[in-house]
Structure 1
Amino acid sequence: MDKKYCYQPDVATSVICWSFTFMIFLLSMLLWLEITVLQPWTIVTFIIFIVVFALQVGSRQIKLGPDRLLLNKVIKTNNESISYADISAVATAGHKLLVKTKHNEYELLMKKSNVQEVAQLLRNKIAVV
């Protein structure tokens, strides 16, 4: 059975992504304040903000499969699949999960309880492989 956990990318990438997302929200509020009456343009931009917000939160998931770790991203063509055999180290620091492979280093932000759980599951999978 695959386990799924929500995550956000490293701090710098998160700040950039969320800044662009909240720019859509600010555009919506600016249109509303500038026009002073609720117009369809304001509603459309606010709906776009809600959709982008939901995509940012909902689509970023870590899936722990039987033989590999799958990192789902907002744009599906950027998804990454990491074999447990390729993982060389797993570390935690507060809300941060660090996964080192032979070729890359992944820094993921998660809930503190999920960080510990995922780290322990990955360490168990690495030990088996």
Structure 2
Amino acid sequence: MTTSKRTFFYQPNPLTSTICWSWTFILLLLGIIFWLEVTQFSWITLFFFTLFTLISAAQLYFRKITIENGQFMVGHVMNPNWLRIPMHNINNLHAGKFTISFDYQQNHYLFMLPANSVIEINGIINAYQ
């Protein structure tokens, strides 16, 4: 069992991730449309490009999985209350190449992560069970 704090960046399940990133890319497309419609770079174009950059950065930075002291904590973009799961209560753990999924209190969770993060999280959770 590890007591050190480990943090990983994740994306939600493929369907949710596709929906969120599609809405985010609409901001980029709106900026491009205004830019081409006016035929010069204007403040509204800058606004949409800046908004796209900020929302993209937030989606990448605030989606974190933190493992510390037997707790599996999942941070969300818009929700300041992290999901806290005791690792000994995780059931039906399944690690794919780029996904990790498990059940907790009759809810099914699926996260997309880099392959090396999946391997490390799988090893940490299995050490607690």
Which runs of 5 or more residues in structure 1 are unaligned?
A: none
Amino acid at match of 1:109: M
1:99, 1:58 → 2: CA distance?
23
After TM superposition, the score normalised by the length of structure 2 is 0.92
Structure 1 runs (4+) deviating above 6 angstroms are: none
Match of 1:41 in 2: 44
Shift of 1:27: 0.4
2:28, 2:126 → 1: CA distance?
40
Which runs of 5 or more residues in structure 2 are unaligned?
A: none
2:44, 2:74 → 1: CA distance?
35
In the alignment of these two chains, the number of paired residues is 126
Please show how residues 38-117 of structure 1 align to structure 2 within 5 Å: 38-77=41-80, 79-117=82-120
Deviates more, 1:83-92 or 1:50-59: 83-92
Please show how residues 109-128 of structure 1 align to structure 2 within 5 Å: 109-125=112-128, 127=129
Percent sequence identity over matched residues? Answer: 25
Q: Which has the higher contact order (CA 8 A, sep 6+)?
A: 2
Larger relative helix fraction: 1
Deviates more, 1:75-84 or 1:107-116: 75-84
1:103, 1:64 → 2: CA distance?
21
1:110, 1:57 → 2: CA distance?
12
* Deviation sequence 1:103-127 (CA, Å, 0-9, x none): 21110000011111111111112x2
| Secondary structure of the structure 2 residue equivalent to 1:91 | strand
Shift of 1:78: 5.4
